[in-house]
Structure 1
Amino acid sequence: MPSVDHSSTKRLDLYLISEADLPYEHDLLRYPHTLAPWMRYIEHKSESPIHEQVFVYERACRDLGRSYKVWKLYLDLRVKHLDAINPAKYEDEFVKVNECFERALMMLSKMPRLWIDYLQFLMKQCRVTETRRAFDRALRALPLSQHERIWPLYLNFAKSVKGSTAVCVYKRYLQYKPQDIEDYIDLLTSLDFHAEAAQQYIELLNAPKFVSKNGKSQFQIWTELTDLLVHYARDIRDYLKQHPATHPNSFDTEKIIRSGIDKFSDQRGKLWVNLAMYKIAIGDFEGARDAFEEGVTTVMTVRDFTLIFDSYAEFEESVISSLMGDAEKREGEMDDEKDAELDIRMMRFEHLMDRRPFLLNDVLLRQNPNNVVEWEKRVGLWGNNAEQVVKTYTDAIATINPKKAAVGHLYKLWTNFAKFYEGAGDLRQARVIFERGAKVPFKSANELADLYIEWAEMELRSENFDRAVDIMAKATSGPQRSNVDFFNEDLTPQQRLHKSMKLWSFYVDLVESVGTLEQTRKIYDRIFELKIATPLTIVNYANLLEENKFFEESFKVYERGVELFSYPVAFELWNLYLTKAMHRKLNIERLRDLFEQALEKCPPEFAKPLYLLYGELEETRGLARNAMQVYDRATTAVSDKDRANMYRFFIKKTADTYGIPATRTIYERALESLPDGDCRELCIDFAEMEQKLGEIDRARGIWVHGSQFADPRIHPRYWDKWHEFEVLNGSEETFKEMLRIKRAVQAQYSTDVNFIAAETAAKTKAPEKVPQTEKTAVITEQPPVPSDIIPGAENEQNDILAGGYGDGEIALDMDY
């Protein structure tokens, strides 16, 4: 390529200046230090050969040495000219351009664009030292505000160069922008400067105000540090040994990881594994086992334990596999030391796997030392090892805080401990345990009650009946008049125990089984004095007296019970009491008084059975008139859902006693008081009754009255029944009247929003089958006939057809 020799430009003046250039040369002679003529001259020579353009640019730069525009155009020209040139092959040409940049920067050292162009140009060449020095000169020459334009190039150059140069460059860059230290750590890691990277991580963690530009948490940074220390443990250790002066503040890897274990409690499992892996990496296998052991015996969560234990087991398996591989390589050669070591490793591994349930149980107990369930599981893990079982029970009792034993029941721990000695035949020691347990301030009084019950059952199993009774007597002992509230948590369980109904129930059952009747009655009476009797207690006491022929005493017990309890509990007691009293055939007046007492405060929903029982009494032992009065009272005293059935029952009894005609007044009262749905069904029964008595007109009036409660689309049964009635007993006029009423009722319900909703719900159900008789035909619903039809024979037929007969067929079999 053509070369330009700047030293010989004067000799080439005549050669490089053509006739076309003369006007521009004359302008330059007149205005040599003015930019405009030079720019016109440069533009004129833009299509000329490179050496002619260089000739003009060199002269312009000499006369306008501080013109940024001229220098910029000139340097861009020279750089562009070398774009496709190999810098190694044409090194001299690149050197010449470098000299041009140097001359420009001597005059324009504060221009960052020229520095950037120069640095980019140098980076294309294989001049590492010269490029680095140029970057340094640029940073020194430019003000601090312009450094942000230089550093990206400098960092790219450092990454491409690598080695110690890159590290030195990044160290200088961190003085300018310390928040980019994470990039520096990434560079160190990529260049295998692991010790330096670890040192930088430590400095980050020791800086409390550091905020990661990548959004990393302190734990993420700590994790990266530990991973680095573990994966490159040998490299870091060897580097620190070879360069002790490079890192005067050397660090202890184990100490670092342990500090993370203390700091990040939710990640202890991973950090313990990292510590063990570090020990393995540096060849300290025994130290790794110690780390694993310490980890599995100190972690607080099952997740951490599982992570450490699995890694521990995998480590032991790898060691055993390595030893077995060595044994196979020996090919039958005897090596007692290696074989012994392999046997030891196998035994150690088996022991580790056997310990897993105990280690896991330890973790759960460290989480919650008051977990009764886990203590019981630990006892079960020891199996038949009596010494360890006793030690576990003792440790559990000493460790558990009774008020904090929320998981499981503490009394079961004491009970099982006593049963252990019972199974061994040592009843004396079992009683000692129960006595100690009875003094424990349990979380609830029920647990203490259960403990006493278990104690008494143990004595029963040993056939020590008197001792069992004494234990329960001791448990239930209390002041003669006690105002203690059993549910008052401010009092100890021992102070509230005598109010435990569970304890008294067991006590009374025990005495009833092994004691006398008088002893049992005293206990029942004591329960009543303490006001803790339950309905079951009352029933059991009454049944006990009844079985022993103390009938009046049993009735008194029921009376005490109904005084203690209100409805609905009192209903069950009254029901039993009245039934037994009727069975005993007490005086009729006394029974009436009892029924009146029972019904005095009885809610409507419980009144029906009592009224029926009362009526039965009057029917069997009293007067029929009194029974009817009772049933009459019941129709107004029972609840709404029972009232319709009560009326039907009253009607049936009245018909049986006084005859069917006497039921009319009851039907009329029922229709006035019952809701629409019940009135509809009752009207059917009422009309059929009148029909049986031959009162056709009265029956028809009832059908008309009940029609207002029956929508034809929802309740077709009512209209089918009426239809049958008219077919059997009516005339053409009455039949037409029924159809007219039917249309009117349907029209009325069609305008009622509530009935429209009911109709929609009814359509989702299966349609009812229309009943047919020998004298009826299938009726097909037709649209209502307009009210303006003129009366007449023809219109009468149309009216009938509109009422529901298909194909114009009249299903009437009668004479008109």
Structure 2
Amino acid sequence: MSTELSLIQEDDILYEQEILKQPGELGPWLRYLEFTADAPISKRIFVFERACDLFKRSYKLWKMYLDIRVDYVARSHAWILSQQGLNEFSREQLKSEIEKVDRLYVKALVLLNKMPRLWQDYLEYLLRWKPHSITHIRHTFDNALRALPLSQHHRIWPLYINFANRHAHISSATAKNIWLRYILFFPDETENCIEQLIDLEYYEQASQLLTKLLNNPNYVSVKGKSRHQLWEELADILVVPHDNWKPDSFYVERVIKSGIKRYPDQKGKLCVQLATYWINNGNFEKARDVFEQGLEDVKTVRDFSQIFDSYCEFEESLIAKLMDEEEQGDLDRLMESFEQLMDRRPFMINSVLLEQNPNNVVEWEKRAGLWGSSMDQVVQTYEKAIETIVPKKASGKLYQLWTNYAKLYEKAGDLSTARIIFDKATKVPYKSVNELCDLWIEWAEMELRSENLDGAIKIMETATKGPKNSKVDYFDESLSPQERLHKSMKLWSFYVDLVESIGTLEEVKPIYDRIFELKIGTTLTIVNYANLLEENNYFEEAFKVYERGIEMFSYPISFEIWNIYLQKAIKRKLGIERLRDLFEQALEDCPSKLCKPLYLLYGKLEEERGLVSNAIKIYERATKAVDNKDKLETYRYYIARVAENFGLPGTRPIFQTAIDNLNDHDANIIGQEFIKIEEKLGEIDRVRVLYGFLSQFNDPRTNEEFWSKWDQFEVMHGSEDTYKEMLRIKRSVIAQFNTDANYLAAKVSDNNSMSRLDKQTASPIGFVASETLQPSKSEAIDTNDVENPDAIDIEIED
């Protein structure tokens, strides 16, 4: 008592008296506590103890008191650590203080057990300062949850769950129980609970919770997992063997099979999991049954591969085990079973593909091929394929299936059965006329292989039968292929080739005539028919065929017919007037892009058999009629023919016309060729005028060759005045091109050459006509003092 009284000092008397005057009031105590805020901890504890004993239900007093006691524990611990470790006395003091605070919390919560903040503080205190008191902490959590209403449990459970998850000394059973209690109040945390149970190896409880979630059709994963992912988790738990739990096999099988029904796209994986479960449990026969059933039921190649590969691995592992144990009898049986499994693989995967698409012709063909030389099985396969496939939905060439079916009997020497099959096949409503056409051709080829030539022709006669004046549109999809078959050019081409190879001309003619009647012939058909007649010396009839073809087709298709017809007519040496009529007829509607070779051929004809003057007129017509891209070459040919027949001087007017009519680029080319002609003729003045005219097309900075030639020409044939004139024109052309925006792209790097050329023109000392004087090719002229000249006229007097 004397020790406690010693804590009351003279400054405290005023507050002590106020407390005595107002014994039931909290205010004087709060002022007293505020006054002692900076006092030693012992004095503060002395005042708080008295106040809390008096006001046992004051949350404010207890909160303040407990906070300073907890803070004192923390500061004491920090101070002791700063003293380079804990001695025994300090450790005991700290432990004693921790226990005192623990008892204070218990005391406070006797009457303040509805205060969640105090429970939180107490639990946090225990977790930090008494972490090894597992039972005490757990009981405290339980007491807090019992004391507080449900609406405030959310303030305690996070601490409790943290304690269950992270506490190193808590048992797995305790953690499990905490989590299972937790999800009773917070069912949204079930997925987290499942994860914790799996980590704690409580697989049975985890599987039960997963099953409960999956049985709830309205459940939506808080973690964003799909129902399929939850199924996978459950399957993994059930299938993987566990030391502490063995699930009921009936339950496992029921769950996996239910998953297969719900998720057919995962059938392969789930089937393998179920088989793995039986393997892990040593029930190998049950595992085989699962694998076999899975291979029979799968719908996709992916699922098949998963199951088959796992099946093979299983059998291989058993074989390897028996080889180690040297069990010869069982080993032979397993080896035989494994070989049979591998032999069945192509059939099983083929069945899967046909299950996916029963109209897959290619897979039916493969299946027939898998049976090898087993005639009965192959026939059964073809019959089943024909029965199963819907022709309009067939993928692949259905006619090829029928053909191979017939060839099966052909190879066996049973042609009558093969013919029956082909006959049935011709009545099938194929997707296209082309398939039906190919089938008839295959039938005819079979007859040819058996040397039944008449039979082959008869088959083609039957195939090509149609209405006399057929109006059927080959491309009318509303009609069946059988109704449109008689207009298949592919079929008629085979028929014609067949009769040509084994029949007479008189037998072939009606076939070609029928093709023309049906208006299905092509240019190749016309050419072939005409060639056939020509080979048999029916030249006039061949020409009539060409004319029929020209009537059938307009330009540009008829161009090839005209080209061949005219050459054949020339070769046959028809009368010149008749040939002229043919050429005029051919050129009448001929497009400009195609007429060039016809004009040249026409001109050549006139040169060889007619009048040269007519040929020249034809060439002149050609220069006006052909396409722009062909004009230059046409003019060149025209000039060459005139030069050969009338000499070089006769080409001058043609050159001038060409320069007038061609575009700038081609005019420049033909003009420079004109220069060469005039040089040969020694017309120096005319050459100079041409150079002057063509200069407007040649920028000195990009077409140096042109100016170099003119330069050499003036050196060889000119005078000082003509050379100056050439340089003046050069400067004016540079000025002209300088105003063109395109000059920027063609700009050359030598900017100093202009000044050198100016000096040369200013002082042309040493110029001697017809002697060597070689100005630089890269000469350019400063254009500041140059006037633009008038356009250069190409008028050259004869």
Q: Aligned AA for 2:162?
A: N
2:50 aligned partner: 59
Find the counterpart in structure 1 of residue 141 from structure 2. 135
Please give the alpha-carbon distance, in whole angstroms, between the structure 1 residues aligned to 2:422 and 2:243. Answer: 61
Q: 3-state DSSP class of the match of 2:754?
A: coil
Q: How does 1:486-497 map to 2 (within 5 A)?
A: 486-497=474-485
Give the 3 Å change call, closer, same or farther, for CA 541–746 of structure 1 in structure 2: same
Alpha-carbon shift at residue 382 of structure 1 (Å): 2.6
Deviation at 1:157? 3.5
- Report the equivalent of 2:179: 170
Supply the AA of the counterpart residue of 2:576.
I
Judge conservation of contact 2:712–2:774 (CA < 8 Å) in 1: no
Determine if contact 2:52/2:62 at 8 Å carries over to the other structure.
Answer: yes
| 1:112 and 2:116 correspond | yes
**Equivalent residue for 1:444, pick from 425, 429, 432:** 432
Quote how far apart the aligned CAs of 1:564 are: 1.2
Per the alignment, residue 252 of structure 1 pairs with 251
Alignment-mate amino acid for residue 151 of structure 1: W
Question: 2-side partners of 1:727 and 1:130: how far apart?
Answer: 121
Q: Which has the larger displacement, 725-734 or 500-509? A: 725-734
Give the % identical residues.
54
Task: Name the residue aligned to 2:372.
Answer: 383
Aligned to 2:717: 729
1:419 deviates by 1.5
Q: 1:786 to 1:31 in 2, by over 3 A?
A: farther
Which residues of 2 match residues 395-794 of structure 1 at below 5 A?
395-406=384-395, 408-757=396-745, 759=746, 782-783=753-754
What's the CA shift for 1:569? 2.0
- Decide whether aligned partners of structure 1 residues 609 and 786 sit closer, same or farther in structure 2, where only a CA change above 3 A counts: closer
In the alignment, structure 1 residue 181 sits paired with structure 2 residue 190: yes
Distance in structure 1 (CA, Å) of the matches to 2:764 and 2:526:
79
Confirm or deny that 1:44 pairs with 2:44. no
Alpha carbons 1:32, 1:63 under 8 Å: kept: no
- Looking at structure 1, the residues matched to 524 and 27 of structure 2 have their Cα atoms a distance apart, in angstroms, of 120
Q: Which residue of 2 aligns with 1:72?
A: 63
Q: CA deviation at 1:227?
A: 0.8
SS at match of 2:595: helix
Please give the alpha-carbon distance, in whole angstroms, between the structure 2 residues aligned to 1:399 and 1:88: 92
> 1:644: how far off?
1.3
- Are positions 1:25 and 2:34 aligned together? no
* Distance in 1 between residues matched to 2:457 and 2:761, nearest whole Å: 98
1:3-22 aligned at under 5 Å gives the runs: 22=13
- Aligned residues of 1:201 and 1:225 also touching (Cα < 8 A): yes
1:295 shift after superposition: 2.3
Mapped to 1, the partners of 2:778 and 2:252 lie a distance apart of 102
Distance in 1 between residues matched to 2:205 and 2:306, nearest whole Å: 30
Taking the aligned partners of 1:586 and 1:282, their CA distance within structure 2 comes to: 99
Structure 1 pair 109/547, CA: closer, same or farther in 2 (3 Å)?
same
- Distance across 2 between alignment mates of 1:752 and 1:272: 80
State the partner residue of 1:216. Answer: 225
- Give, in angstroms, the shift of residue 448 of structure 1: 0.8
TM-aligned CA distance change 1:495 to 1:125, over 3 Å: same
Does the 8 A contact of 2:715 with 2:773 survive in 1?
no
RMSD: 3.3
Summarize deviations over 1:320-354 as a string: whole Å, max 9, x none. 22223333xxxxxxxxxx53222211111122222
Match in the other structure for 1:335: none
Q: 1:306 is matched by which residue type in structure 2?
A: S
**Secondary structure at 1:783 match in 2:** helix
Greater CA deviation, 131-140 or 74-83?
A: 74-83
Question: CA separation in 1, counterparts of 2:751 and 2:46?
Answer: 118
Query: Which SS does the other structure have where 2:438 is aligned?
Result: helix
Cα distance in 1 for residues equivalent to 2:664 and 2:721: 28
Deviation at 1:312, TM superposition (A): 1.2
Structure 1 stretches lacking a partner, 5+ long: 1-9, 242-250, 328-337, 765-778, 808-816
Q: What CA distance in whole angstroms lies between the structure 2 residues aligned with 1:716 and 1:92?
A: 109
- Of the structure 1 ranges 295-304 and 452-461, higher mean CA displacement relative to structure 2 is found in 295-304
More displaced 10-residue stretch of structure 1: 78-87 or 283-292: 78-87
Q: TM-score, normalized by length of structure 1?
A: 0.85
Determine which of 154, 160, 178 is the counterpart of 1:154: 160
Aligned counterparts of 2:757 and 2:722: Cα–Cα separation in 1: 20
For normalisation by structure 2, the TM-score amounts to 0.87
**In structure 2, do the counterparts of structure 1 residues 791 and 350 end up closer, same or farther at CA, with 3 Å as the change threshold?**
closer
Partner of 1:357: 346
Aligned partner of 1:195 in structure 2 is: 204
How many residues end up aligned between the 2 structures?
A: 757
Instruction: Tell me how far apart the structure 2 counterparts of residues 780 and 31 of structure 1 sit (CA, whole Å).
Output: 111
Alpha-carbon offset, residue 214 of structure 1: 2.1
Superposed displacement of residue 212, structure 1: 2.2
- Offset of 1:600 from its aligned partner? 0.5
- Do the aligned residues in 1 keep the contact of 2:550 with 2:562 (CA within 8 Å)? yes
8 Å contact 2:183–2:189 — kept in the other structure?
yes
Following the alignment from structure 1 to structure 2, what is the Cα–Cα distance between the partners of residues 47 and 568?
Answer: 116
After superposition, the Cα gap between the structure-2 partners of 1:691 and 1:284, relative to the gap in structure 1 and judged at 3 Å, is same
- Closer/same/farther in 2, CA of residues 692 and 90 from structure 1, 3 Å limit: closer
1:677-700 Cα deviation digits (max 9, x unpaired): 221122222223233333322222
Aligned pairs (5 A) from 1:89-128: 97-123=101-127, 124=130
Q: Which amino acid aligns with 1:309?
A: F
Checking the alignment, whether the CA contact within 8 Å between 1:233 and 1:281 is kept in structure 2 is no
Q: Does the residue aligned with 1:214 lie in a helix, a strand or coil?
A: coil
Distance 1:125 1:708, change over 3 A: closer
- Inter-CA distance 796–125: structure 2 relative to 1 (3 Å threshold): closer
Query: Partners in 1 of 2:91 and 2:598 — Cα distance?
Result: 118
Superposed CA deviations along residues 497-521 of structure 1, whole A, max 9, x for unmatched, are: 1111111000000011112211110
| Contact 1:273-1:311 at 8 Å conserved across structures | yes
Unaligned runs of 5+ in 2: 78-87, 780-798
2: distance between equivalents of 1:464 and 1:88?
119
How far the C-alpha of 1:232 sits from its partner, in A, is: 3.8
